[in-house]
């Protein structure tokens, strides 16, 4: 039996059902739109994410008898006011600590170099001077490249200031209309779908709930982890406590990988401030407790469905979708992995039902 005949049998078994074929076509078209025009429709995607986040409080107000228009207006005003308060309250501190950390980075690296150069004296049988010298030269070259890239990015970001202003005006307007006219947009999308949409509807309902729960859960996780980290770092008198606490909170956007990456600046700053002392180890223990509680208590509570995915699948999804769509690919890695799982389940169920009906 040839490979083509095996593939043909598999294709007929999976896609002989028109509903399965329509689901495949819709997925391919959606992926093509995101790949080729994702940058153009990014404000719409950002607005959709915020609309998913705010839909829950809007529905709660509607359920108590308030009109949807008034509910959307109240929720949007509160959201904008809270965002402005956070920016005004945190931005000056974060900016100041970021500048101070950048200014002290050469001193931190100088101390690190001195520590590395002492290693051959402590371990002459294992480490040679030329090995440390070559390592230092390689790292210095990489640091120069990183510095040039940061400088280029900072210059190019000036040109993006207009885009930021557009986001500040257009995104809130789109969020308001998405919330206010939610049923109208859902009906419009439904009218565009083909008649063979049983599997599309099944996957769509499942993913609508999954994405809404995921966005709310991820925002709650960021707030809790970031707040607890800031409080712990401030109480332990760690330098750049607010900046590092916010970084720890944002690190939960990238499952597993984010926690590992953000450990480096936390450990480096603590080591530069205290050295290898009990204070350093107390901080690292507190940081490890925060990460353990997040991974073993908070995440299962907030993402009971998503964490059913194997960790290897989640990491692969982060790498794959992050490579395709950058930040938003990383942000939606878990719901996209859940989408793949839901599609596979729908196809399997659909073909099984079709097989049974054919036999009957």
pLDDT (tens digit per residue) in 164-206: 777 788 888 899 998 888 888 877 877 777 776 677 777 777 7
Could you tell me if 81 and 221 are in contact, meaning their C-beta atoms sit under 8 angstroms apart?
A: no
Q: What is the DSSP string of 199-216?
A: HHHHHHHHHHHHHHHHHH
82: how many CB neighbours lie within 10 A of its CB? 10
pLDDT (tens digit per residue) in 26-68: 777 877 877 777 777 778 888 888 888 888 899 899 999 888 8
**With b meaning 16 or more CB within 10 Å and e meaning fewer, what string describes 183-217?**
eeeeeeeeeeeeeebbbbebbbebbeebbbbbbbb
Q: Is 127 helix (H, G, I), strand (E, B) or coil?
A: coil
Could you tell me if 221 and 258 are in contact, meaning their C-beta atoms sit under 8 angstroms apart?
A: no
Give the domain ranges of the chain.
Answer: 17-31+39-196, 197-360
User: Over its length of 360 residues, how does the chain's per-residue pLDDT go in tens digits?
Assistant: 566 566 566 556 555 566 667 777 777 787 787 777 777 777 888 888 888 888 889 989 999 988 889 999 999 999 999 988 888 888 888 888 888 888 888 788 788 777 777 777 777 777 777 777 777 777 777 766 666 665 565 555 555 666 677 778 888 889 999 888 888 887 787 777 777 667 777 777 777 777 777 888 888 899 999 999 999 999 999 999 999 999 999 988 887 788 888 999 999 899 888 888 899 999 999 999 999 998 888 887 777 655 566 777 777 888 888 777 777 777 777 777 877 777 777 666 554 444 444 433
Q: What is the pTM of this model?
A: 0.74
Chain mean position to CA 158: 25
Smallest CA-to-CA distance from 269 within 242, 309, 300, 299 is with 242
Between CA 221 and CA 310 the distance in angstroms is 20
108: how many CB neighbours lie within 10 A of its CB? 15
Between CA 116 and CA 229 the distance in angstroms is 30
């Amino acid at each position: 039996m040839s490979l083509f005949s095996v593939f043909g049998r598999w294709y007929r078994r999976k896609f002989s059902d028109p509903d399965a074929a329509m689901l495949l076509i819709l997925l391919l078209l959606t992926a093509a739109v995101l790949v080729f025009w994702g940058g153009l429709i990014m404000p719409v995607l950002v607005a959709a994410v915020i609309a998913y986040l705010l839909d829950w409080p809007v529905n709660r107000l509607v359920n108590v008898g308030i009109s949807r228009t008034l509910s959307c207006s109240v929720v949007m005003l509160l959201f904008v006011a809270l965002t402005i308060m956070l920016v005004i309250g945190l931005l000056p501190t974060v900016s100041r600590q970021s500048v101070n950390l950048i200014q002290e980075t050469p001193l931190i690296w100088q101390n690190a170099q001195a520590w590395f150069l002492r290693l051959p004296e402590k371990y002459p049988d294992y480490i040679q001077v030329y090995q440390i010298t070559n390592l230092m030269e390689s790292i210095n070259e990489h640091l120069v490249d990183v510095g040039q890239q940061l400088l280029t990015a900072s210059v190019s970001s000036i040109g993006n200031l207009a885009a930021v202003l557009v986001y500040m005006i257009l995104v809130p307007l789109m969020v308001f209309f998405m919330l206010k006219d939610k049923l109208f947009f859902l009906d419009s999308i439904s009218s565009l779908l083909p008649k063979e949409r049983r599997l599309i509807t099944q996957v769509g309902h499942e993913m609508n709930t999954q994405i809404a729960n995921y966005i709310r859960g991820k925002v709650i996780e960021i707030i809790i982890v970031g707040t607890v980290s800031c409080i712990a770092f401030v109480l332990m008198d760690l330098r750049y406590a607010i900046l590092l606490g916010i970084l720890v909170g944002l690190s939960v956007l990238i499952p597993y990988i984010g926690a590992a990456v953000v450990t480096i600046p936390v450990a480096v700053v603590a080591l530069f401030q205290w050295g290898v002392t009990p204070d350093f180890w107390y901080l690292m223990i507190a940081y490890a407790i925060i990460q353990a509680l997040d991974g073993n208590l908070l995440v299962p509570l907030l993402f009971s469905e998503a964490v059913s995915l194997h960790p290897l699948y989640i990491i692969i999804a982060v790498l794959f979708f992050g490579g395709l769509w950058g930040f938003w690919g990383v942000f939606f890695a878990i719901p996209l992995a859940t989408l793949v799982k839901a599609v596979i389940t729908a196809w399997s169920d659909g073909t099984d039902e079709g097989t049974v009906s054919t036999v009957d």
